[in-house]
Amino acid sequence: MSAVSSTFRTPKAALFAYIAAILFAIHLFTYFVPVLRDATGLTFPIVAELMALLAVAEHLCLFPVLEALPAPRWARYAGYGWLVIDIATNIMQLNGTPQSSYLPLRYGGHISAALWIIAASWQMQGAIRVIGIILAVDLVFYSFIAFVPLAFLILLPSLVLLPLWLALVGRVLATNATDQLEDTKTQESSISTPV
Protein backbone atom coordinates (compact mmCIF):
# COMPACT_ATOMS: atom_id res chain seq x y z
CA MET A 1 0.00 0.00 0.00
CA SER A 2 1.23 3.48 -0.79
CA ALA A 3 2.30 5.51 2.25
CA VAL A 4 0.33 8.50 0.98
CA SER A 5 -3.38 8.62 0.21
CA SER A 6 -4.28 8.84 -3.44
CA THR A 7 -6.69 11.65 -2.61
CA PHE A 8 -4.15 14.10 -1.19
CA ARG A 9 -0.63 13.64 -2.58
CA THR A 10 1.19 16.81 -1.69
CA PRO A 11 4.12 17.93 0.43
CA LYS A 12 1.73 20.41 2.06
CA ALA A 13 0.38 17.61 4.24
CA ALA A 14 3.92 17.01 5.50
CA LEU A 15 4.29 20.69 6.32
CA PHE A 16 1.02 20.63 8.24
CA ALA A 17 2.21 17.56 10.17
CA TYR A 18 5.42 19.37 11.15
CA ILE A 19 3.53 22.50 12.18
CA ALA A 20 1.08 20.41 14.22
CA ALA A 21 3.99 18.62 15.92
CA ILE A 22 5.49 21.96 16.98
CA LEU A 23 2.16 23.42 18.11
CA PHE A 24 1.25 20.28 20.09
CA ALA A 25 4.69 20.28 21.73
CA ILE A 26 4.21 23.90 22.82
CA HIS A 27 0.64 23.29 23.97
CA LEU A 28 1.42 20.08 25.83
CA PHE A 29 4.25 21.85 27.66
CA THR A 30 1.72 24.33 29.02
CA TYR A 31 0.02 21.52 30.95
CA PHE A 32 2.82 21.88 33.49
CA VAL A 33 1.90 25.54 34.10
CA PRO A 34 -1.49 25.65 35.90
CA VAL A 35 -2.18 29.33 35.11
CA LEU A 36 -1.88 28.49 31.40
CA ARG A 37 -3.53 25.07 31.54
CA ASP A 38 -6.59 26.20 33.53
CA ALA A 39 -7.11 29.67 32.05
CA THR A 40 -10.62 30.51 30.89
CA GLY A 41 -12.18 33.61 29.41
CA LEU A 42 -13.51 34.35 32.88
CA THR A 43 -10.23 33.97 34.81
CA PHE A 44 -7.44 35.14 32.47
CA PRO A 45 -9.04 36.28 29.19
CA ILE A 46 -5.89 37.10 27.20
CA VAL A 47 -4.11 33.91 28.25
CA ALA A 48 -7.24 31.88 27.58
CA GLU A 49 -7.64 33.38 24.10
CA LEU A 50 -4.03 32.62 23.20
CA MET A 51 -4.29 29.06 24.54
CA ALA A 52 -7.55 28.48 22.65
CA LEU A 53 -6.00 29.82 19.43
CA LEU A 54 -3.03 27.49 19.89
CA ALA A 55 -5.29 24.51 20.59
CA VAL A 56 -7.57 25.17 17.64
CA ALA A 57 -4.64 25.81 15.27
CA GLU A 58 -2.88 22.56 16.16
CA HIS A 59 -6.04 20.59 15.48
CA LEU A 60 -6.87 22.43 12.25
CA CYS A 61 -3.41 21.56 10.94
CA LEU A 62 -4.29 17.89 11.26
CA PHE A 63 -7.19 17.90 8.79
CA PRO A 64 -4.92 17.65 5.70
CA VAL A 65 -2.67 15.18 7.54
CA LEU A 66 -5.65 12.97 8.29
CA GLU A 67 -6.59 13.05 4.62
CA ALA A 68 -3.07 12.23 3.43
CA LEU A 69 -2.06 9.51 5.85
CA PRO A 70 -3.30 6.08 4.81
CA ALA A 71 -5.85 4.57 7.16
CA PRO A 72 -9.17 2.81 6.71
CA ARG A 73 -12.07 5.18 6.05
CA TRP A 74 -13.69 4.36 9.41
CA ALA A 75 -10.44 5.26 11.20
CA ARG A 76 -10.29 8.58 9.36
CA TYR A 77 -13.84 9.31 10.44
CA ALA A 78 -12.76 8.62 14.01
CA GLY A 79 -9.83 11.01 13.55
CA TYR A 80 -12.09 13.74 12.20
CA GLY A 81 -14.41 13.17 15.16
CA TRP A 82 -11.50 13.62 17.56
CA LEU A 83 -10.49 16.89 15.92
CA VAL A 84 -14.02 18.29 16.12
CA ILE A 85 -14.46 17.19 19.75
CA ASP A 86 -11.11 18.61 20.85
CA ILE A 87 -11.74 21.91 19.09
CA ALA A 88 -15.18 22.13 20.69
CA THR A 89 -13.88 21.31 24.18
CA ASN A 90 -11.15 23.93 23.85
CA ILE A 91 -13.79 26.52 23.01
CA MET A 92 -15.88 25.24 25.94
CA GLN A 93 -12.89 25.83 28.24
CA LEU A 94 -12.36 29.31 26.81
CA ASN A 95 -15.97 30.18 27.59
CA GLY A 96 -15.75 29.09 31.22
CA THR A 97 -17.44 25.69 31.03
CA PRO A 98 -16.55 23.70 34.17
CA GLN A 99 -13.80 21.12 33.72
CA SER A 100 -16.19 18.42 34.91
CA SER A 101 -18.25 19.07 31.76
CA TYR A 102 -15.67 19.44 29.00
CA LEU A 103 -12.82 17.15 30.13
CA PRO A 104 -14.81 13.88 30.03
CA LEU A 105 -15.95 14.79 26.53
CA ARG A 106 -12.34 15.48 25.53
CA TYR A 107 -11.23 12.13 26.96
CA GLY A 108 -13.97 10.41 25.01
CA GLY A 109 -12.63 12.11 21.90
CA HIS A 110 -9.19 10.71 22.69
CA ILE A 111 -10.62 7.23 22.10
CA SER A 112 -11.35 8.32 18.53
CA ALA A 113 -7.87 9.83 18.24
CA ALA A 114 -6.34 6.56 19.40
CA LEU A 115 -8.36 4.61 16.86
CA TRP A 116 -7.08 6.78 13.99
CA ILE A 117 -3.50 6.81 15.31
CA ILE A 118 -3.30 3.04 15.74
CA ALA A 119 -4.96 2.31 12.38
CA ALA A 120 -2.62 4.68 10.55
CA SER A 121 0.44 3.49 12.47
CA TRP A 122 -0.32 -0.15 11.81
CA GLN A 123 0.26 0.45 8.10
CA MET A 124 3.72 1.92 8.69
CA GLN A 125 7.06 0.30 9.46
CA GLY A 126 9.57 0.84 12.23
CA ALA A 127 9.52 3.54 14.89
CA ILE A 128 6.41 5.32 13.65
CA ARG A 129 4.40 2.11 14.10
CA VAL A 130 5.73 1.41 17.59
CA ILE A 131 5.36 5.02 18.77
CA GLY A 132 1.84 5.26 17.32
CA ILE A 133 0.70 2.07 19.04
CA ILE A 134 2.15 3.11 22.40
CA LEU A 135 0.61 6.58 22.03
CA ALA A 136 -2.82 5.15 21.18
CA VAL A 137 -2.76 2.72 24.10
CA ASP A 138 -1.68 5.52 26.46
CA LEU A 139 -4.53 7.79 25.32
CA VAL A 140 -7.14 5.05 25.71
CA PHE A 141 -5.87 3.86 29.07
CA TYR A 142 -5.80 7.38 30.50
CA SER A 143 -9.28 8.15 29.18
CA PHE A 144 -10.68 5.33 31.31
CA ILE A 145 -8.82 6.22 34.52
CA ALA A 146 -8.60 10.03 34.33
CA PHE A 147 -10.70 10.35 37.51
CA VAL A 148 -8.13 8.43 39.61
CA PRO A 149 -5.76 10.61 41.69
CA LEU A 150 -2.35 11.01 40.02
CA ALA A 151 -3.65 9.35 36.85
CA PHE A 152 -2.18 12.25 34.86
CA LEU A 153 1.18 10.50 35.29
CA ILE A 154 -0.09 7.86 32.85
CA LEU A 155 -0.60 10.57 30.22
CA LEU A 156 2.92 12.02 30.53
CA PRO A 157 4.42 9.83 27.76
CA SER A 158 1.90 11.25 25.29
CA LEU A 159 3.34 14.72 25.87
CA VAL A 160 6.42 13.51 24.01
CA LEU A 161 4.93 10.76 21.87
CA LEU A 162 2.24 12.82 20.08
CA PRO A 163 4.60 15.54 18.75
CA LEU A 164 7.20 12.87 17.93
CA TRP A 165 4.64 10.74 16.07
CA LEU A 166 3.42 13.78 14.13
CA ALA A 167 7.00 14.69 13.17
CA LEU A 168 7.54 11.14 11.92
CA VAL A 169 4.26 11.33 10.00
CA GLY A 170 5.55 14.55 8.42
CA ARG A 171 8.72 12.78 7.40
CA VAL A 172 6.76 9.90 5.84
CA LEU A 173 4.51 12.30 3.95
CA ALA A 174 7.45 14.43 2.78
CA THR A 175 9.47 11.39 1.68
CA ASN A 176 6.57 9.95 -0.26
CA ALA A 177 5.75 13.29 -1.87
CA THR A 178 9.40 13.57 -3.00
CA ASP A 179 9.36 9.99 -4.28
CA GLN A 180 6.18 10.68 -6.24
CA LEU A 181 7.71 13.83 -7.75
CA GLU A 182 10.76 11.84 -8.84
CA ASP A 183 8.51 9.13 -10.32
CA THR A 184 6.54 11.78 -12.22
CA LYS A 185 9.73 13.36 -13.60
CA THR A 186 11.02 9.94 -14.65
CA GLN A 187 7.73 9.14 -16.38
CA GLU A 188 7.68 12.53 -18.14
CA SER A 189 11.25 12.15 -19.38
CA SER A 190 10.57 8.64 -20.67
CA ILE A 191 7.50 9.88 -22.52
CA SER A 192 9.34 12.80 -24.13
CA THR A 193 12.42 10.75 -25.07
CA PRO A 194 12.12 9.30 -28.59
CA VAL A 195 12.67 5.57 -28.89
What pLDDT sits at residue 38? 86
At residue 25, does pLDDT exceed 70? yes
What whole-number distance in Å separates Cα of residue 36 and Cα of residue 51? 7
Positions of E strands within 62-151: none
Q: Is residue 73 part of a domain?
A: yes
Angstrom CA distances, 151 to 35, 36, 155, 159, stand at 20, 20, 7, 14
Q: Is residue 53 part of a domain?
A: yes
- The chain-wide mean pLDDT, for the chain, equals 88
Mean pLDDT computed over 116-129 = 96
How many domains is the chain partitioned into structurally? 1
Q: Is residue 29 part of a domain?
A: yes
What pLDDT sits at residue 8? 44
Angstrom CA distances, 194 to 67, 148, 185, 190, stand at 38, 71, 16, 8
What pLDDT sits at residue 6? 43
Domain range enclosing 76: 11-176
What pLDDT sits at residue 39? 86
Task: Give the tens place of pLDDT for each residue, 48-71.
Answer: 999 999 999 999 999 999 999 999
Mean pLDDT computed over 7-14 = 71
Q: Is residue 149 part of a domain?
A: yes
